[in-house]
């Protein structure tokens, strides 16, 4: 069953999908549609990943969908990472254009295909933004890519820290 | 003897786990997590665990020794009875484990994850005494890791660091080559550009070869020389006085000589009679139960997992972690008298060759018709070449960071 497979994910994403490694995302409680999108895109090579895609080619579509459902039903546990006021102000300003989709704090996505960002690991978010900003790799969500590319280089880290600091 | 069905007299099955490393700690934790009613005892000889993963980075100064440590408080809090002792014998007939202190523990099911022990006799002239003093192998992390680090720090420009690699299978297939990279990294960043690393290898190829060779060419041109077994790389002799390791054909004289001796399953697995003629424990591919004695499950480096000539399960922390979870699932199913669930085995080994230059190999195994099959459509190594230089650099940077994230999560998955 799905729990037996999900147990293998704990080595990288933590028990119940709550990661304790800043470069690895927490995945418990992310919206089901988003999880399905990324996992199936990795299986079919429509989406770039450094590591994850090589795993998911070993699982069936049904198994991946079941995993997405399983993780979406777990509680989302934000890991609130404090940042100083200057970074918070910078991050807030730079995320103006993100608000329509992610909500003011990243905690209120406007649809089910958009992941929560609040209390996600700052380092992970920064690395994801790096992927969206690099046109040489396949990241299929065009609007997200365009928005990420509009960020000034020096704002990327602040944006990541801003979302990571939000409890909800 | 325990009544049939695996239940002990009290109705609570007694589980003993020997070895609190990546395999054993994971097994003890998941036994408790998946069935809080189980009576779980973990026997471990050391109060503090020292991780091998990331220990090569400690040798080169990129990581802190403290970062490799874990204790057993987390498991105790979960209700695991942790006994700091040495398991000296297992009696499969009476289902008991003898401890050095004199006590003995009865079990209904035993999980063994004792890691590896070394066959010092495999290298004439090398010994445990040398390993603990002047010539650390540092292939079990601990004081020897720091001793080797100190030797590296004592080197001068133009000097040579020799690493000898034993015949496979050995723990952490990419380990020696990652170590070579980290040593070269130290040279490069300490103005020692005339220094060299020589890898004298008993084998004719190695894990992630294309990725390592690319990294060496880019970051340490001319600094690392690899000698294959067929080219005389198989070291069989060591002379500590002249610091020379020798194969039947060549002598490798170094200023630091790091002998990695051949190894086999942990002694307790051997003395229990669980090992084959090559020194490893063969197990049921889908449950990790020993093929020699029932109700004994072996996980981690001690095992040879399945009849897989090319894609046998690698001896890695990640593999030990998933094997432990599979064994726990199978044991709990047996206690409850139901068939073992479908097993899932996954491995990912990250290596860091230089700052921002990491890569990995992934193995996905699936159970098919009662056998363990390596999925050739999945897994494999990180791309060696990418169409675009910026994409390649990003890929390497990402995996150098994911390596650290993986480490933090797997340490917590086993010990917290
Ligand atoms: C330099 C190096 C780098 C590595 N890097 C990686 C990496 O990046 N990724 C990766 O996945 N793997 C890596 N590995 C491999 C990894 O360390 C092993 O595969 C892993 O530790 C295996 O787990 P185990 O439980 O089998 O053994 P261990 O983790 O070695 O645990 C065995 C435990 O059993 C205890 N023990 C043994 N016998 C007894 C006894 N009789 N009584 C009581 N206690 C006993 C020992 O004290 C020890 O704590 C690396 C290894 C090395 C050497």
| Chain A residue at shortest CA distance from B329 | A4
At B82, which helix (H) or strand (E)?
Answer: strand B81-84
Measure in Å the smallest separation between the Cα of B364 and chain A Cα atoms: 6
Chain A environment of B390 (Cβ under 8 Å): 134, 136
Distance CA(A100)–CA(B284), nearest Å, equals: 54
Q: Does residue B227 sit in helix, strand or coil?
A: strand
Chain A environment of B405 (Cβ under 8 Å): 12, 19, 21-24, 123-124
| Chain A residue at shortest CA distance from B399 | A50
Helices (H) and strands (E) in chain A, counts: 9, 0
β-bridge partners, B303: B281
**Residue B312 confidence (pLDDT):** 79
How many Cβ contacts (< 8 angstroms) between chains A and B?
123
Residue nearest to atom 44 of ligand 1 (CA): B44
CA dihedral (A134, A139, A144, A145) in degrees, to 10, reads: 30
- Six token digits for residue B166: 């034993």
Q: What is the pLDDT of residues A14-57, one digit of tens each?
A: 999 999 999 999 999 999 999 999 999 999 999 999 999 999 99
Entry pTM: 0.96
Residues of chain A with pLDDT > 90, as a percent, come to 99
Q: What is the pLDDT of residues B187-203, one digit of tens each?
A: 999 999 999 999 999 99
Distance CA(B406)–CA(B416), nearest Å, equals: 15
Helices (H) and strands (E) in chain B, counts: 10, 25
CA-angle at B317, arms to B314 and B318, nearest 5°: 80
- Pairwise CB contact (< 8 Å): B375 & A131: no
Average pLDDT, rounded, for chain B: 95
B388 and chain A: CB distance < 8 Å anywhere?
A: yes
Compute, in angstroms, the gap from residue B90 CA to the centroid of ligand 1: 20
pLDDT range class, residue A95, cuts 50, 70, 90: very high
| Chain B residue at shortest CA distance from A22 | B405
CA B256 to chain centroid = 23
Compute, in angstroms, the gap from residue A117 CA to the centroid of ligand 1: 36
Q: Is B46 touching ligand 1 by the criterion CB < 6 Å?
A: yes
Residue A11 has pLDDT above 70, yes or no: yes
- Pairwise CB contact (< 8 Å): B413 & A124: no
The sign one gets for the Cα dihedral B242, B165, B225, B133 is negative
Q: What is the pLDDT of residues B60-86, one digit of tens each?
A: 999 999 999 999 999 999 999 999 999
Distance CA(B184)–CA(B16), nearest Å, equals: 43
At B363, which helix (H) or strand (E)?
Answer: strand B357-368
Residue to test with chain A: of B31, B357, B402, B416, most A Cβ within 10 A? B402
Q: Is B21 touching ligand 1 by the criterion CB < 6 Å?
A: yes
Measure in Å the smallest separation between the Cα of A4 and chain B Cα atoms: 7
**Residue B308 confidence (pLDDT):** 61
Across A63-86, average pLDDT: 98
Residues of chain B with pLDDT > 70, as a percent, come to 96
> With a cut of 50, which residues of chain B have pLDDT below it?
1-10
**Residue A135 confidence (pLDDT):** 96
ipTM confidence score: 0.98
Compute, in angstroms, the gap from residue B22 CA to the centroid of ligand 1: 6
Atom of ligand 1 nearest to the CA of B139: 53
- Six token digits for residue B78: 């979960």
B78 and chain A: CB distance < 8 Å anywhere?
A: no
Measure in Å the smallest separation between the Cα of A150 and chain B Cα atoms: 19
CA atoms within 13 A on the CB side of A95: 26
Q: Name the residue of B17, B20, B21 whose CB sits within 8 Å of the most ligand 1 atoms, as the mutation to test its pocket.
A: B21
Q: In angstroms, what CA-CA distances link B131 with B52, B225, B260?
A: 16, 24, 10
- Pairwise CB contact (< 8 Å): B394 & A134: yes
Residue A1 has pLDDT above 60, yes or no: yes
User: What residue has token string 């680090």?
Assistant: B149
Residues 318-347 of B with CB under 8 A from A: 318, 321-322, 325, 329, 341-346
Which residues, 6 or more positions from A122, have their beta carbon under 8 angstroms from its beta carbon?
Answer: A22, A81, A83, A157, A160, A161, A163, A164, A165
In 3D, which of B263, B304, B275 has the Cα closest to residue B90? B275
In 3D, which of A56, A52, A44, A43 has the Cα closest to residue A24? A52
């Amino acid at each position: 069953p799905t729990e037996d497979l999900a147990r293998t994910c704990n080595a990288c994403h933590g028990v119940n999908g709550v990661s304790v490694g800043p470069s690895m995302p927490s995945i418990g409680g992310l919206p089901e549609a988003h999880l399905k999108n990324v996992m199936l895109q990795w299986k079919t090579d429509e989406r770039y990943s450094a590591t994850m895609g090589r795993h998911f080619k070993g699982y069936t579509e049904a198994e991946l969908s079941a995993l997405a459902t399983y993780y979406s039903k777990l509680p989302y546990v934000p890991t609130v990472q404090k940042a100083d006021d200057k970074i918070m102000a910078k991050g807030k300003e730079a995320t103006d254009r993100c608000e329509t989709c992610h909500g003011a704090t990243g905690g209120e996505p406007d649809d089910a295909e958009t992941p929560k960002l609040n209390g996600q690991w700052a380092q992970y978010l920064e690395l994801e933004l790096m992927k969206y900003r690099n046109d040489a790799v396949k990241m299929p969500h065009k609007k997200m890519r365009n928005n990420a590319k509009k960020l000034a280089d020096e704002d990327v880290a602040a944006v990541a820290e801003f979302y990571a600091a939000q409890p909800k | 003897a325990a009544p049939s069905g695996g239940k002990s007299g009290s109705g609570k099955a007694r589980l003993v786990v020997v070895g609190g490393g990546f395999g054993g700690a994971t097994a003890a934790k998941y036994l408790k997590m998946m069935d809080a009613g189980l009576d779980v005892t973990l026997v471990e000889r050391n109060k503090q665990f020292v991780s091998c993963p990331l220990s090569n980075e400690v040798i080169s100064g990129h990581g802190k020794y403290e970062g490799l440590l874990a204790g057993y408080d987390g498991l105790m809090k979960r209700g695991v009875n942790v006994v700091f002792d040495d398991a000296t014998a297992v009696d499969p007939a009476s289902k008991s484990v003898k401890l050095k202190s004199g006590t003995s523990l009865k079990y209904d099911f035993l999980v063994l994850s004792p890691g590896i022990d070394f066959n010092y006799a495999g290298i004439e002239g090398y010994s445990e005494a040398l390993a603990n003093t002047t010539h650390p192998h540092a292939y079990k992390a601990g004081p020897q890791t720091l001793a080797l680090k100190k030797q590296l720090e004592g080197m001068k420009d133009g000097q040579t660091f020799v690493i000898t690699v034993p015949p496979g299978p050995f723990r952490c297939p990419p380990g020696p080559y990652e170590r070579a990279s980290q040593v070269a990294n130290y040279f490069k960043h300490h103005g020692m550009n005339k220094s060299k690393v020589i890898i004298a290898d008993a084998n004719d190829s190695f894990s992630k070869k294309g990725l390592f060779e690319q990294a060496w060419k880019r970051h340490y041109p001319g600094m690392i020389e690899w000698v294959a077994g067929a080219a005389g790389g198989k070291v069989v002799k060591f002379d500590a006085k002249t610091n020379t390791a020798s194969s039947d054909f060549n002598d490798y004289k170094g200023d630091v000589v790091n002998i990695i001796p051949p190894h086999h399953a942990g002694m307790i697995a051997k003395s229990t009679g669980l090992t084959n003629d090559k020194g490893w424990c063969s197990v049921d591919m889908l449950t990790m139960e020993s093929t020699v004695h029932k109700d004994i499950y072996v996980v981690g480096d001690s095992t040879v997992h399945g009849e897989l000539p090319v894609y046998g399960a690698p001896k890695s922390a990640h593999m030990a972690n998933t094997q432990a979870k599979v064994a726990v699932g199978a044991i709990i199913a047996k206690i409850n008298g139901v068939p073992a669930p479908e097993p899932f085995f996954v491995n990912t080994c990250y290596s860091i060759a230089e700052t921002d230059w990491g890569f990995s190999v992934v193995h996905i195994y699936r159970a098919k018709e009662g056998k363990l099959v390596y999925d050739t459509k999945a897994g494999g190594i990180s791309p060696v070449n990418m169409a675009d230089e910026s994409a390649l650099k990003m890929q390497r940077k990402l995996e150098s960071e994911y390596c650290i994230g993986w480490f933090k999560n797997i340490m917590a998955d086993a010990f917290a």
